[in-house]
Structure 1
Amino acid sequence: MSSLLVDWCNFCEEKAYFDKAHFLSLFKDVSAVHNLDEIFNYFPNSDALVERAKNVLDAGSLDQRAYLFPMGKCSNADLLVFATRWLKEQSRFCQCMGDTELAWISSKASAVYVSNSVVNDAVQLDIPNNWIFDFIGDHVRNSKALDVNESYALFEALYGIAADYYLAWYIAAPLIDLDINLDLYFKLWKVGGVSVLLQDKLLVSSKI
């Protein structure tokens, strides 16, 4: 058992205290990856958490990178389909949770394939893509089944897998009491898809 996994167990059993950032690389620790059951054993629905974590870890590779990178590929046409399905789910969620403006913006946008550099430039802007992310994030934080230190540390460790909050929320979905289908985001991510919502269009690209 690695020292980081030992720290995790001691932390969850309240034998030691660490800042949540201490576990940022927990799922990139070789020993920990082979002990997912032990990591998630401290949480309800642990079997579902293990399954989702395996889904993500099996779909990507570090390959000398700081964060997990998806290994799947698909056609540009399929990327547009996956991205559109995820956008429709975001629109549905915004409508259900009362933000009709975000729901309207996301419902009328048409998907177009662009280069990855265009997506990277766009995501830095003040655009609906970021407003929806903040909106979903606020509801995720308010809907966690467990409001304890272990939960906050777990979410930090899950973010550390790929520096991706949506992916972290996909894995942690069994701990989130929220009606949003994050599986649709995972399906886009695992084939290397990225998308950014502007006022009138959804920019879609591949980072592979």
Structure 2
Amino acid sequence: MDKQLIEWINFCEGKVDFDISHFYTLFFEGDADNGYRSDVELDAIFKYFRNSEDLKLRLRNTTQTIDLEEPDDMATFLIDSTFKDVQEKKKFIDEEELLKFLAKPVNYIDDIESVRKSQITDWQYEEYMALVGDTISELKYSTEKKVYALFEAFYGLTTDYNMVWYLGRPLLKTTVNLDHYFDLWRFGGRYCISSDGILVSRYR
């Protein structure tokens, strides 16, 4: 058992205290062949939380390297997954101006860099992520420090808040489906919201 995993166990059991950022790389060390945590290690990490088996499954979905059978029509698949994800997350949003953009059609473009740039520069996507994130923060089933530390570790693994919300869904008090983003993420899909509407593309 490595040092950080021992620290995590002691932290969750209240024996030591750390800033939540201390566990940013929690999922990068481990005994599994792919360099991530083994099932035994994940059991040790998640045993302090409700729905531990669901948490473990989601983490495994994210780190396992498997050959996926691509959809026959990738663009249509990404458009559909993006539409479903936005439709669910817009339930967290009541800002009328932003909702106008979220009601626009989803379009596929073969230019992932334009999507990435829009995520950084367009207020619509920034506001969308901020509002969804604020609501999700309030929906955590517990305010214990270990819950926030786990979400920090999820971000350290993915550097993608949409994926953090997918991974942490079992710890949220909501019926909103946050799984659709994973469907497009695993095929390299990413989307943005801009003045032109909702755009999705993919990494090759």
TM-score by length of 2: 0.87
Aligned to 1:172: 168
Unmatched tracts of structure 2, length 5 or more: none
Contact 1:170 1:182 in 2 (8 A): yes
- Which runs of structure 2 are paired with 1:31-180 in the superposition (5 Å)? 31=31, 33-34=37-38, 35-58=41-64, 74=71, 75-91=74-90, 93-94=91-92, 97-180=93-176
Q: Determine the C-alpha separation between the residues in 2 that align with 1:132 and 1:101.
A: 11
Contact 1:53 1:171 in 2 (8 A): yes
**How many percent of aligned residue pairs carry the same amino acid?**
32
Give per-residue Cα distances to partners, 1:136-177, cap 9 Å, x unaligned.
100111111110111111110011111111111111111111
Q: Determine the C-alpha separation between the residues in 2 that align with 1:59 and 1:140.
A: 29
Contact 1:111 1:202 in 2 (8 A): yes
Q: Determine the C-alpha separation between the residues in 1 that align with 2:157 and 2:70.
A: 20
- Provide closer, same or farther for how the CA distance between residues 79 and 110 of structure 1 changes in structure 2, counting only shifts above 3 A: closer
Q: Once superposed, which parts of structure 1, at least 4 consecutive aligned residues long, lie more than 4 Å away?
A: 70-74
TM-score by length of 1: 0.85
1:207 aligns with 2:203: yes
Unmatched tracts of structure 1, length 5 or more: 61-69
1:186 aligns with 2:182: yes
Give per-residue Cα distances to partners, 1:110-145, cap 9 Å, x unaligned.
313131111122111132111111111001111111
Contact 1:71 1:192 in 2 (8 A): no
Alpha carbon RMSD of aligned pairs, Å? Answer: 2.1
Deviation at 1:59, TM superposition (A): 5.4
Q: Is the partner of 1:84 in helix, strand or coil?
A: helix
Aligned length: 196
Aligned to 2:15: 15
Deviation at 1:71, TM superposition (A): 7.5
| Residue identity in the other structure for 1:121 | K
Contact 1:112 1:201 in 2 (8 A): no
Contact 1:72 1:190 in 2 (8 A): no
